Each structure stands twice: as C-alpha cells, then as structure tokens.
Structure 1
Amino acid sequence: EGPPPAGEAAIVLARGEAAGSPEAYALDVAPSGVTVTAAKRAGLFYGAISVWQLAVQDAAKGPAQLPAVSIDDAPRFVWRGFMLDSARHFQKVETIKAILDAMAAHKLNVLHWHLVDDQGWRLEIKKYPKLTSEGAWRVPAGAAGRDPKTGKAIRYGGFYTQDQVRDLVAYAAARGITVVPEIEMPGHALAPLVAYPQYGMTKTPPRQNMGDWGVFPYLYNTDDQTFAFLNDVLDEVMDLFPSQYIHVGGDEAVKDQWKASPAIQARIAQLGVKDEHGLQSWFIQRAEKHINARGRRMIGWDEILEGGLAPNATVMSWRGIDGAVAAASQGHDAVLAPDSTLYMDRRQSASADEPPGRLKIISLKDVYDFDAAPAALTEAQRAHILGLQATAFTEHMRTDERLQKMTFPRLVAVAENGWTPAARHDWNSFTARLPAEMARLDALGVAHDTVPYEPQATLTPAEGGKVSVALASGLGLGEIRYTADGAVPTTASPLYDAPLDVAPGKTIRARTFLDGQGFGRVRDYPVSLLAANTRSSHQLEVCGNGINLSLEDDAPVNGQRAVFAVDLMNPCWVWKGADLSSALKLTARIGQVPFNFQIGADKAKIPLRAPATPAGELDVRLDGCAGEVIAAIPLGAAARGPGLGTVSGVLPARAGRHDLCLTFTARSVEPTLVLDQVTLTAAGKSGKN
C-alpha cells in the first residue's frame, strides 16, 4: 500500500479497548498510516509519545522512517515519579516546564514537588503571607552570602505564586503528569517557624541557620492553634493541587525539642501515647484526618511507620526498601524511592568533571539495574507497590543546569524501570538506544550529563621523560578513539586499547564512539610532566566514609568555583605510592569552606589537630594517617580565603614508594580547610615543565 490519500490523516488517535491499565494503548504502524487506540486520554498520549520516539530514533540520518510495527503496551507501575526539591535551591518556572516535557517524553506521570524545608518555603499561602515574605529568603553560608565590595548580606530565594502553580499544574496535566505537593511536618520546619515562631518550640528560631544543610532540630509544637495553621495551609494547597495524594513529609524529625519540653511531655501523657514516636504518629494521623475529609489521600516518608501508621496512609520508602516491605506487609500502598540508588545527588562517575554532590557513585547502570519488585514481598504484597520514584534533593545543585545534569540521563533509566516489565530489561538494548535518547533530550532543551560516556585521562610519569596516558570512561561503553596531532577524532582514528607513552608538549584528543556515532564530547588532555605529577582532590583517596562530598567552594560569589572531594567528618587525603627516593617539593592548592552542616552531636567527633602556627599547617604523614609527620607546611595567608591559596614545602627522601596522608591542623571546623590539588616535583626545581 502507498501513503494515505490526500485529506486523510496519516496518524489517527482512536478511542477503543486497550488491555490493561487506563494508560494502556495499542499502536499499529502500516504503510497506510499510523493508528493509536486507547480507552483513555492517557493511553492515547503515551501511544503518541511512542510514535514520536520511533520517528526520532534515527534523527541524525534524515527524514523519519517509521518501522512497520504492531504494539500492545501498558505500564508496569501506576506511579512513575520524580521528586523535585525547590526548597534547598529555587528553580525557574521555565526549567520545571522543561523537566515536565522530558518526563512526559519518557512516560513518567508524577512530579512530587518538595516545596517546603528548613532552607525555604516556596509556595504562596494567602492567609499567611510571612511564609514567603520571611520564609522564602535566606543568606547563604560563608563568602557566598556577602557582597565582596560592600560586605552586605546577599539574600537568596524566591517562591511560586498561586497563579504560577496553577499554570504548572495545568501544564503537567496536559502531559499526563500529576503534581503531588509536599508540606513537611512535624520536622524540616525552620523556614515556616522563622516566619511564625508561635507554632514551634522556640521563641526565636535561628534565621541564620537557614543557610545550613543537614538534619535540624526545629519542630512544630502540638497545640491546637498549630493544627489550625497547618489545616489552613493544607486547604490552600488542596485548592491549588487536584492530586489524589498530598505528601506531609514526616522524615528526620529529631525529637530533642519534644523530649526537653514539659508541655510536650504532658501532651504525651494526656494522649496516652507511648513516647515521642507515638506523638509523631498522632500528629501525622491528625493531619491525615483533615486530608481525608477533603477526599484526598495522605502519603509520607517511611518514618510515618514509626509509632503506628496512619490508617489510610501510603508510604514513600527512602531508607532502602524496608519501609515499602513493612508497609505492604501491613496492607498499605508504597512507593519505592530508595537512598542511595534513586537519589540524584550522587555522582554519576568518578570524574572531577561531574557536578558537585555526594561522592558516592550511582551510575546510570546502577539506576537501570534497580529491582523495583522486592524479593522480600509475596505476590499479594507486591500489589501494594504503586511504583518508584527518583529523588533530587538539591543542596548541591545550585543552578538549574546542574539539577538537569544530575537528573538526566538517569531519570530515563527510572522511566524505563517504571514502564517496562522486568522480563524485557536489557542493559545492552538500553545503551544502544542512548544516542537517540540524548538527541531527544537535546531537542527538548534539557541539559544532561555526558561525562560518564567520555574518555577521562590519568597521567603518570613514564620512562625516558615521557608521560603515560591512560584513558577510560565511567560507563565503559563503546570504543575510545584518539589523536595526538590536533585532529578531531573520528571512527578512522587510532583505537585506544592500552596506555600511551606520550612526549610532553603533545595534546591527546579523545572521543567515545558507540555504534559508529560520536558519543559525548571530544576531550582534550595536554600532556606535561607537571600534569603527570599533579592530582586533584578527586584523584586522591579520602580517608573515611562519613559525610563524603564533592563540595563546591563558597567563593567567588559570581563566576567559576572550585569543587573539593572531602569527608567532612575526617578531612584527610591520601596520595598512594609516591616515589620518595629523592627529596620532593610538595605544592598544594587549598581552600576553605564554611561548616554549614547541622549534624548535632556528631560535630564533636570530627578530629581537630592542634596547630603550631597561627594559621595552622598542612601535615604530611608517611604510610598512613597515624604515621610519622615528615613535613608540617605553614599555611599562612593561603588559609585566609575566600577562594584558593597555595602552599609548598619539602618532603625528605626515603627509600622506595610510600603513601602520603595529608591533613590540616586547625582549632575549629569553622571554616573547614580542604585540598583542591597537590603536585609533587623534584626538590629545587620550578616544576614548570
């Protein structure tokens, strides 16, 4: 058959029977045209998305050629979500719309919107205007919070008006996406309590702490006037968001303020609940009654299981999958959103080029391999697993572009996990489609991380004054091709298969190719002995596994900032296998960051090493962090900041190779001194080669 006659539609969307869920559809592509059949609008929409995906899978090869196919398709899960934290960092409306477009293009159907936290209240509430006039603004910690010219505080923040929210909710709904709002209680409440302290446990909650990260002790009280306030807020929220579910948080509510309050202890006795966990359960159940009275359902983080679960509640399991298993075992619905696997604030590869975030690597493959049907559940209990959700807590995603790069392409893997049956999961098939997926994200105007595909170079000194260049990509996909003559690598360039010995002064240009297509950027690596003897903090080993971050500097206020690999609980770095057969000059570039982390009593566990000079020293120890100090390099003005400073000292010769442990002396964790990079050169040489 030829193309359809003039005047007839080439693509027909038809209402009809489609097996499975309301989102199911049937797709038939024939020479005469394309037909999508579904019982509901959602099914027609997803069928149309599939047509678009088929049409652009070979976009680089010219006009679309749709393959002849017949597909009956339905989602694996009803909840296929993404949580956006707008409280820690505020995103433009246009950015959220771009994310919604990308979600829709991959058949995700829930945007869980984290609008409230200690660092900011982002939703206009007409009855309580101070929530946004006071609670939506903070001063960032450290140098980032002060104008370098005037010294005046810089306010950071913003909020979404109710009109903007209605627009976003409608925009999402047109794309098959439900927006589920989250209003945190009883913890994560510093921002609203700065605005309205009468609803909290202290008369003057510390506004300055809104620039901190971590788990805060500030809780709502349990007075009737507080519930009147929360019910008023929830009423305006439910007027704005037509979603079936309303999220009330419930996580990380440190109970110290409740434990210390005679009034709260009297409340516990009056209610006859067991303890503070029982009081939180009562608190959440009281909120749930109000939500249920409006015909809605409550959802909360898995801590709402503690002290007894609210009767109609749904559990969002973030502390692994245990909360979902417990909830489903008790007959409650659950959504899987486990830390760390589906948390987008983890790095995607070991490269120092990755955006700031937590140092732990959660790769695209880790996300793709996540099992969304826990083996610990029976078939009947699995029916209570509504689905899964990726979570973007944005403490370290200061810009909208970083948010997108940390989220994509991993959110594409979450989408496939949520839609495709487990039996059809195939990493090789998924990676073969990645170039097309990246082209779609480009077409949608969404930034995405290409670093895990790209060749990363490790330079080390080699024989005869040359430099060994080892190339590898984070995901190990495709093949790496390179040039040393300045040309752009092509499929005809040499194939990398072993480390290269390169003369200083050359530049290695490298690119990954997947199925003959360039994948990721061309990367340039200038080769020098200085580079071969230099390691960034990300190339050194951090000593512990406490709070391990790829942490951005607080300066400059505008412009590029350094990013440090550091364990905040033990700031310590190790250079493995340094050749000390002759004396070496150690040159270190250092920075200092504000300790804006609320970690309670754990702060006292951070080791402090007494300084011998006013500004402290960089100590270099031999063969382990309890080893002999072979150099104590005074920091002087380099420690003052803001920004980076440089110090240097001589390491005496010792036979053979040794691990060097580098730590700072300091009287306080405020600020915390950090390494940016370290260079080892022959003592007495300038190191300019």
Structure 2
Amino acid sequence: MNESYELEVDEKGHAKISSHSVWGILKGLETFSQLLVNVGQNQFQIQVVKISDAPRFPHRGMMIDSSRHFLPLSSIYQTLDAMEMNKLNALHWHLVDDQSFPFVSETFPQLHQHGAYNAETHIYTKADVAAVIEYARLRGIRVIAEFDTPGHTRSWGRGVSGLLTQCFDAHHKAVPNSFGPLDVTKNATYEFVEKLFEEIVGRFPDQYTHLGGDEVNFQCWASNPQVQAFMREHALGTDYRRLESYYIQKLVQIVERLKRSYIVWQEVFDDGVQLQADTVVQVWKGHEGQWMGEMERVTARGFKVLLSSPWYLNHIAYGTDWNRLYQADPLHFNASAAAHKQLVMGGEACMWGEWVDASNLISRTWPRASAVAERLWSPQHVNSVNQARPRFNHQHCRMQVLGLRVQPNEGPGYCACDHAM
C-alpha cells in the first residue's frame, strides 16, 4: 500500500491532506490528530505546518498470541486502535498453538470443539474473524493469520485422531497420551492440511499466510518406529531437520497451489528448505550480533526478511526499556551488496501470550511498541533517544486520553488526564 501523504496547515487554520491512496489519507489524519493541542475548556490549537511524510518500511507489524491465553474481540479491537494511533499496518495473528485451538473451522469443526479452552465461549467464529479483518481494514491494517506447523500442534491432535506422531519410550513401547509434531509420514496428514489451508486462505484475504515452522521437537519423531522406517525409505538418514524440510516443502507447494505467498520463521530457512523467491523469512532468534548475521545470510540468498528478534515485548524488566527497542534498527547488519538491504520489508513487535491476557495486553504492549513503530516509520537518522523521549511521553498521555489503559514508559512523571482515569 502507498501510505505517503502531504499535510499542510496554513495561517488561517485551513488544513489539507493529500495522498495517492486512502491509506495515506488515514496516516495523514493520524498525524493531524497528533498536532492538536488541548489548551483547556474544549479548545484546541494547531501549529502552522507543512509535512511531506512516508514510511521507511512497508511492513510494520504487531504480533498477538490468542492461544496461550484467549483474547476476547474487545482486546483485539483495542490493539488495532493502538496500532492505528502508531501507524502500524500489519496485525500478525498467532491464532492457535499447543495450548488451544480457538479458530472455528467449518471444514473440521472438531478442532475447536476439542481443542479450544471452551468450545462455546473461547472461540473465534467465521463472523468474528470477518469482523476483525474489517475493523483492521478500516484502519489501514492488514491481518495475517499464522497456523504454525508441524510443531506447536498439540491442541490440533485433540480433535483429529492420528494427526500427531505417537511417541515411544526407550523400550520401543508407545507412551500413553504422549504425542509430538504432526505425523508427516502419512498421506492423510497432507490431505488434512490442504483442506484446512484452503479454508484459511478463504477466510483471510491477505496475500500472505504465516506458516510458522519454528521450534520443532525431533525427539518424538526419532522415537517412533514408523517414522524411522520412513526416514530409511526416503534416504533421509537420521537428520530429522530433513524430515521437517520434507514436510515444509509439501506445505509450501500446497499454499502455492492456493495462489498465496507465505512467511516462515527463520528455522525453515536455517534448515535448508527449498523456498520460492517471494518467501518472507521472519528473524526472531538471538541477541544483536546473532540476528544481524541471520539478516545478512537471508538477504544474501535473495529472500525478503522481517525482523523481530529485538522486539519481543513479552520479555520485560524493571525500568525503562523503550530506548533499547528504539535503537534496534533492521538495517544494522553487513550486506555484501547494497541491494540486499532493500529486501528488508520491516519488522514486527511480538507479544507472546504465556503471561498475557486481556487484562494486561494493552498495558504491557503500549507505549513500548510505539518505539518499534517509530523506528519502522521514521528515517534512519531520526534515532536520538533524548529527542524521542518527549514524543513518547506525549504519546503515552495521548493514548490514555483516547481510552487505552497504557502503562508509563518512563519513571516518575504524570499526564494531565491522570485525575480523570
């Protein structure tokens, strides 16, 4: 989407926003609202100004996790409101995982019936998903669904018998109620996956679907005699990364037949899966030196990339941390060719849900995510923490005035609206 715009406020108080797209107009309106200053008694002032603005990166995302703790629609809507206020444009919705399967599939209704925390209340119906997508669209935000496989699928197995790999003990006996990743040696698994993803792409209109592919535990595969036999038959040796690659390769082909593009976590790239040229790799592992090296390797191979490693907002510590988030830059890596850095699409802040539900999703995420949003929007040279501090303090108070219960981003201080909270 083209989000560039021009905003001009003249001496007579006339304001004009120009853009080549409705998305640019939305961003210009957001800037206009930020320029308004409340001087009391419902009176506002705005400075005379001329702004020509555009985002530095096309993909500026926020990831939420509705599996570890169910997130009611109200909390997702609040997240989208906050994203709009900070000019983020992609909601990465990690819908399902080991813990629960709240997505209501009409093709396989047994998935949510047996996999959701509560099949009546803790679910997202077809109408719910459509409502989130529309709420986001009206705010210039794409919704990208993630259905992570072959790992992170324990909740899937509660509804579909035989879908997961049976784990065995050291004496080659099946361990009761012990299952690992998808059983990728069965044709039935691929038939199931194809039907499910056909439904998923029908529900989520974005060109991209997130396929996951991270943190696959190989121990259960290695314990299963049928999987071992499959490895021998297909000359895969004993390297179970090759079995994961075998599965991902088939999944990629399924998604391509559905005429969709895809995002994968970095393990898929690291493990050598043959990826299509338009694949987007999301880098999430490691400290600064590690993720820089990964960004270099991914772009050197010609793949587009998103950065998340420094922006895991579920990692919290006492004190101020927005400055660390603000100083992390997706282009801070060595590139053997200048064109490689052009493959960086942007990045995403991630709020995983192990310790987050609707009670603290907004407060824990914001305004910390504002630092990520500005890094992904503003020019690279706009990077002074001292100059950014008053902007973020203002944004913190502004988000409170607009009804979002965000936490302080600094130590002692105040907002004018504190007395009215």
TM-score (norm 2): 0.89
Deviation string, structure 1 residues 634-682 (Cα, Å, up to 9, x no partner): xxxxxxxxxxxxxxxxxxxxxxxxxxxxxxxxxxxxxxxxxxxxxxxxx
Query: Partner residue of 2:90?
Result: 110
CA RMSD of aligned residues (A): 2.4
Q: Does 1:265 align with 2:236?
A: no
C-alpha change, 1:60 and 1:309, in structure 2 (3 Å) is farther
Query: Partner residue of 2:137?
Result: 173
Distance 1:59 1:372 in 2: 38
C-alpha change, 1:156 and 1:129, in structure 2 (3 Å) is closer
Query: Partner residue of 1:279?
Result: 243
Q: Does 1:453 align with 2:419?
A: no
Distance 1:282 1:268 in 2: 10
Q: Does 1:382 align with 2:341?
A: yes
Which amino acid counterpart does residue 83 of structure 1 have in structure 2?
Answer: M
Distance 2:196 2:11 in 1: 55
Deviation string, structure 1 residues 263-300 (Cα, Å, up to 9, x no partner): 22332333344521111112112111111122211111
2:46 counterpart SS class? coil
Query: Partner residue of 1:315?
Result: 281
C-alpha change, 1:520 and 1:428, in structure 2 (3 Å) is farther
Distance 1:276 1:221 in 2: 13
Deviation string, structure 1 residues 120-157 (Cα, Å, up to 9, x no partner): 1121101211211110128xxxxxxxxxxxxxxxx997
C-alpha change, 1:101 and 1:226, in structure 2 (3 Å) is same
Distance 1:429 1:317 in 2: 29
Q: Does 1:343 align with 2:312?
A: yes
8 Å CA contact 1:281–1:307 kept in 2: the answer is yes
Which amino acid counterpart does residue 197 of structure 1 have in structure 2?
Answer: S
8 Å CA contact 2:214–2:268 kept in 1: the answer is yes
Q: Does 1:330 align with 2:311?
A: no
8 Å CA contact 1:178–1:243 kept in 2: the answer is yes
Which amino acid counterpart does residue 35 of structure 1 have in structure 2?
Answer: K
Which amino acid counterpart does residue 36 of structure 1 have in structure 2?
Answer: I
C-alpha change, 1:87 and 1:194, in structure 2 (3 Å) is same
**Pick aligned residue for 1:246 from 209, 223, 226:** 209
Query: Partner residue of 2:351?
Result: 392
Which amino acid counterpart does residue 235 of structure 1 have in structure 2?
Answer: E
8 Å CA contact 2:180–2:221 kept in 1: the answer is no
Query: Partner residue of 2:171?
Result: none
Q: Does 1:224 align with 2:187?
A: yes
Deviation string, structure 1 residues 362-389 (Cα, Å, up to 9, x no partner): 7111111112212222421111111011
Which amino acid counterpart does residue 318 of structure 1 have in structure 2?
Answer: W
Query: Partner residue of 2:363?
Result: 405
Which amino acid counterpart does residue 169 of structure 1 have in structure 2?
Answer: I
TM-score (norm 1): 0.55
**Pick aligned residue for 1:425 from 358, 380, 383:** 383
Shift of 1:442: 1.4
Shift of 1:61: 8.3
1:283 counterpart SS class? helix
* Mapping of residues 594-605 of structure 1, within 5 Å: none
Shift of 1:225: 0.7
Shift of 1:335: 0.4
Distance 2:138 2:295 in 1: 30
Uncovered stretches (5+) of structure 1, i.e. residues with no partner: 1-20, 139-154, 210-216, 351-361, 456-511, 522-689
Distance 2:295 2:399 in 1: 32
C-alpha change, 1:161 and 1:380, in structure 2 (3 Å) is same
8 Å CA contact 2:66–2:353 kept in 1: the answer is yes
C-alpha change, 1:328 and 1:244, in structure 2 (3 Å) is same
**Pick aligned residue for 1:52 from 11, 33, 36:** 33
Q: Which region of structure 1 is more displaced relative to structure 2, 250-259 or 374-383?
A: 374-383
1:218 counterpart SS class? strand
* Mapping of residues 192-231 of structure 1, within 5 Å: 192-202=156-166, 218-222=180-184, 223-231=186-194
* Mapping of residues 421-570 of structure 1, within 5 Å: 421-450=379-408, 453-455=410-412, 512=413
**Pick aligned residue for 1:87 from 60, 67, 73:** 67
8 Å CA contact 1:288–1:310 kept in 2: the answer is no
Which amino acid counterpart does residue 341 of structure 2 have in structure 1?
Answer: R
Query: Partner residue of 2:99?
Result: 119
C-alpha change, 1:384 and 1:59, in structure 2 (3 Å) is farther
Q: Does 1:77 align with 2:34?
A: no
2:282 counterpart SS class? strand
**Pick aligned residue for 2:76 from 77, 96, 118:** 96
Distance 1:64 1:309 in 2: 57
Q: Does 1:34 align with 2:15?
A: yes
Deviation string, structure 1 residues 415-465 (Cα, Å, up to 9, x no partner): 101100111222122211233212321133222112x5344xxxxxxxxxx
8 Å CA contact 1:23–1:74 kept in 2: the answer is yes
Query: Partner residue of 1:367?
Result: 325
Shift of 1:92: 1.1
Deviation string, structure 1 residues 609-639 (Cα, Å, up to 9, x no partner): xxxxxxxxxxxxxxxxxxxxxxxxxxxxxxx
Shift of 1:324: 2.9
8 Å CA contact 1:90–1:157 kept in 2: the answer is no
8 Å CA contact 2:64–2:94 kept in 1: the answer is yes
Q: Which region of structure 1 is more displaced relative to structure 2, 438-447 or 423-432?
A: 438-447
1:120 counterpart SS class? coil
**Pick aligned residue for 1:294 from 235, 258, 263:** 258
**Pick aligned residue for 2:44 from 64, 69, 92:** 64
Distance 1:346 1:307 in 2: 26
8 Å CA contact 1:316–1:324 kept in 2: the answer is no
The count of corresponding residues between Structure 1 and Structure 2 is: 402
C-alpha change, 1:317 and 1:157, in structure 2 (3 Å) is farther
**Pick aligned residue for 2:125 from 158, 161, 184:** 161
Which amino acid counterpart does residue 401 of structure 2 have in structure 1?
Answer: A
C-alpha change, 1:107 and 1:310, in structure 2 (3 Å) is farther
* Mapping of residues 348-359 of structure 1, within 5 Å: 348-350=317-319
Which amino acid counterpart does residue 421 of structure 1 have in structure 2?
Answer: P
Greater helix content = 2
C-alpha change, 1:440 and 1:346, in structure 2 (3 Å) is same
C-alpha change, 1:205 and 1:182, in structure 2 (3 Å) is farther
Uncovered stretches (5+) of structure 2, i.e. residues with no partner: 168-173
Deviation string, structure 1 residues 555-579 (Cα, Å, up to 9, x no partner): xxxxxxxxxxxxxxxxxxxxxxxxx
Distance 1:304 1:447 in 2: 38
8 Å CA contact 2:110–2:160 kept in 1: the answer is yes
C-alpha change, 1:431 and 1:70, in structure 2 (3 Å) is same
Which amino acid counterpart does residue 203 of structure 2 have in structure 1?
Answer: L
